[in-house]
């Protein structure tokens, strides 16, 4: 489902569907789109998924806590956090599954389809406005066999504060979103949460945010928004 909301800066609350939800510290979800910055200077090169059609590869340097449905997968705990090259952020033991179902594993499906990752980059842990976060740059093919590299150019930022977490995904302004829509959903390993509602694609230069509590529960989707950090 989609959400109507606005940010009231002075109150320190995010108004969503006429309810007020407190945000953490000076960080906040801001209405509007944040285009991806795809400059790779200062990023590490993630060798595992480069050029891979179907694969799952654990992030080598996720040096901060990040919880998903009550379990901390950051700092390489509990088998860590990984990238499935069919556009899934996975948690725990890796899988190379193409089309995920709810019990494939714990993960966030961001346009899940039969994709191919061309290159993937990741930053060191950064700190800003009460958050720790890691930024990642994805260059990928819309379809594994279409022969068009880098048709997907997305920046993924994963944030953690003392009591909230965010996953922000933004698309480059210089290239259109993938022509084939994919599956957008969150699964706890047992059931899909249907967090994204009817969302099916990320617009050129567009962005969205997923927010959870500090334990990685109660995920909420904010379209056309970004994290002010």
What pLDDT shows up at residue 176?
A: 79
**Cut 0.75: pTM above it:** yes
What pLDDT shows up at residue 138?
A: 98
- Give the domain extent around 84: 33-220
- Confidence bin at 137 (pLDDT 50/70/90): very high
With respect to residue 15, please indicate whether it lies within any of the assigned structural domains: no
Q: Which residue has the higher pLDDT, 60 or 5?
A: 60
Q: Please give the tally of structural domains in the chain.
A: 1
Give the Å distances, CA to CA, from 60 to 45, 64, 119, 123, 166. Answer: 10, 12, 15, 11, 20
Greatest alpha-carbon pair distance for the chain in Å reads 50
With respect to residue 75, please indicate whether it lies within any of the assigned structural domains: yes
Instruction: Name which of 147, 204, 201 is nearest 174 in CA terms.
Output: 204
With respect to residue 24, please indicate whether it lies within any of the assigned structural domains: no
What pLDDT shows up at residue 162?
A: 86
With respect to residue 11, please indicate whether it lies within any of the assigned structural domains: no
Q: Flag the least confident range among 8-17, 45-54, 147-156.
A: 8-17
With respect to residue 14, please indicate whether it lies within any of the assigned structural domains: no
- Confidence bin at 28 (pLDDT 50/70/90): confident
Share of the chain above pLDDT 90, in %: 80
- Report the alpha-carbon distance of residue 136 to residue 29 in Å, rounded: 19
Tell me if 51 sits within 8 A of 79, measured CB to CB.
Answer: no
With respect to residue 137, please indicate whether it lies within any of the assigned structural domains: yes
Locate 81 and state its tokens.
């956090």
With respect to residue 62, please indicate whether it lies within any of the assigned structural domains: yes
With respect to residue 108, please indicate whether it lies within any of the assigned structural domains: yes
């Amino acid at each position: 489902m989609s959400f109507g909301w606005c940010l009231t800066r002075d109150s320190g609350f995010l108004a969503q569907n006429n309810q007020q939800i407190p945000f953490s510290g000076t960080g906040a979800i801001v209405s509007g789109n944040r285009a991806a910055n795809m400059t790779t200077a200062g990023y590490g090169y993630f060798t595992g998924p480069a050029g891979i059609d179907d694969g799952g590869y654990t992030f080598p340097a996720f040096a901060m806590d990040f919880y998903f449905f009550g379990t901390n997968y950051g700092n390489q705990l509990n088998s860590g956090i990984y990238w499935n090259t069919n556009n899934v952020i996975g948690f725990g033991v890796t899988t190379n599954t193409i089309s995920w179902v709810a019990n494939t594993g714990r993960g966030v499906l961001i346009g899940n389809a039969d994709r191919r990752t061309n290159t993937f980059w990741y930053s060191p842990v950064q700190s800003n406005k009460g958050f720790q976060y890691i930024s990642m740059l994805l260059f990928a093919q819309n379809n594994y066999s279409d022969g068009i590299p880098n048709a997907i150019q997305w920046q993924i930022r994963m944030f953690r504060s003392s009591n909230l977490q965010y996953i922000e995904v933004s698309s480059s302004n210089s290239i259109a979103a993938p022509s084939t829509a994919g599956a957008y959903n969150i699964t706890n390993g047992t059931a899909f949460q249907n967090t994204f509602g009817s969302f099916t694609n990320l617009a050129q230069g567009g962005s969205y945010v997923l927010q959870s509590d500090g334990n990685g529960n109660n995920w909420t989707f904010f379209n056309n928004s970004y994290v002010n950090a």
